[in-house]
Structure formats: C-alpha cells, structure tokens
Amino acid sequence: METKIVFITGASSGIGEGCARKFASQGWNLILNARTVSKLEKLKSELEAANGVRVYILPFDVRDRKQAAVALETLPEEWKSIDVLVNNAGLVIGVDKEFEGNLDEWDIVIDTNIKALLAMTRLVVPGMVERGRGHIINIGSIAGDAAYPGGSVYCATKAAVKALSDGLRIDLVDTPLRVTNIKPGMVETNFTVVRYRGDKQAADNFYKGIRPLTGDDIAETVYFAASAPAHIQIAEVLLMPTYQATGTISYKKKEE
C-alpha cells in the first residue's frame, strides 16, 4: 500500500504539531511547514525515530507568497503528490475594540489567516485535481460563527475561512476531492499567549475553571475527517470543550 503524504502549515506547535504527531502515528509521510527551523528539525527527528515515517521540512513564512511558491515548486518529485493539505497556520493578536486596534497587527492576522490559506490552496490543489485525489482541511474556528467582544477582525478572518471552504467545495464538486472546515472552540495552545501579546498569565487566566481542548484533541478530529472512506466528505465539524456552549458562553467553575 502506497504511503500517503500530508502537508501541514504552522506545524511547529499547537494544533499543527498535534496533527503532525497524529498522522505520523498512523504511518503517513509528512511535509511540515513553520518559520522556526530548529523546532521543525527537532520534530522531524522525533517523528521519524518514533514512527518510521519520512518527514520533509519546508520552513517559510506562509505570508510570503513568493517564498511559498518557490518552496513548493522545488519540492523533490517524490514529495509532490500531496494527499492532504492541512491549512492550519493562523493567529490573533490583541483583544482590542475594532475602532482602537493596531492596523499593522491586523495586516498580520488577515495575511496569515486568509491570504496565506488562499495561496497554499492555489499552489497545492491544482496538483490534487490533476491526480484525481486529495483533501483540503482548513482550521477555522467557532469565532467564524459569530463576532464577540474584542475579536471582530479575528472573527471576520475565520468567517472567511468558512466561506472559502464552502466555495472551494462547490468549485471541486465535479472532482473526487474533499474539503473540510474544522471549527474548534477553546483550545489551550501558544495561540492564546500571542492573542494576549505574550502575557502568559492572562492566557492562563482565560482557561481557569474549565478544561479546554488541546492541539491533540483537534488533531484527532482532523485525522478522523482525513481517514473517512472516500465516498464520505465531512464538510464541517464544530467541537468545543464540555461546559462551552458558544464562542462567548461557557461555564467556569470557581476555584475553592
């Protein structure tokens, strides 16, 4: 049986790293992208040793379209047949009101969450169409379902991920390719530290009183979608911790 290849963006931590570990444990070869080479090299060594799979690291900033194009064009021939693309790279900076936020920070968020996802899709999916197989899994968010205080720009980017996933599914309807949008609720990763501009204590406080999801939890759902039989397309999954009901409503137990 031919070993499949998964390409994961933002693979050096959080949900991306969780996905890398899950797919590797199931015998998939991996192309891992992130900006930090040292983290990717460490993960590559660990996954290859533990799972007997092959890992190809592709370090570049997904916001740099030219760099992304060169990276994918120069992939060795045996790595070009990507079976699953996990568009995971994403972030939010700050919890500012829409009329008070930093435009430069918003550029980073929009360029990463929307434009980079579009670029990766444009670069990888034509090959999938040509080969007649492939699966695009976009990491959206519960934030894409409704805006919440201090998150309007981030919520807008994840609403865009929902629309882009649905639109791509329509565009590919006459092909065997599948498109999935995974929408997590509260997940405890470095993502939240970035949201609070590096304030680890504020990030920790956000999760006090509730058991949040982990990157590994999301990875289980991503793999579930990817490993479904070929005639099943899991279009969208919304997953939250128990005690969370919507993007803004959750129950947090008070500490004794």
Mean pLDDT of 48-77: 97
Does residue 18 have a pLDDT over 70? Answer: yes
Q: What confidence score (pLDDT) does residue 159 get? A: 98
Among candidate residues 22, 44, 154, 223, the one labeled active-site is 154
List strand residue ranges (DSSP E) for 70-212, in order.
Answer: 84-87, 135-139, 178-184
Q: What confidence score (pLDDT) does residue 256 get? A: 59
Tell me the pLDDT band of 254, cut-offs 50, 70 and 90: confident
Does residue 165 have a pLDDT over 80? Answer: yes
Tokens in use for 134? 């492939």
Does residue 119 have a pLDDT over 90? Answer: yes
Tell me the pLDDT band of 28, cut-offs 50, 70 and 90: very high
**pLDDT tens digit sequence for 130-148:** 999 999 999 999 999 999 9
The yes-or-no answer on residue 22 being catalytic is no
* C-beta atoms surrounding 174 within 10 Å: 7
Lookup result for tokens 């021939």: 77
Among candidate residues 4, 22, 44, 158, the one labeled active-site is 158
Q: How far apart are CA 173 and CA 67, in angstroms?
A: 30
- Please report, rounded to a whole number, the percentage of residues in the chain having pLDDT higher than 90: 96
Instruction: Say if CB 213 and CB 239 are below 8 A apart.
Output: yes
The yes-or-no answer on residue 158 being catalytic is yes
Q: What confidence score (pLDDT) does residue 1 get? A: 64
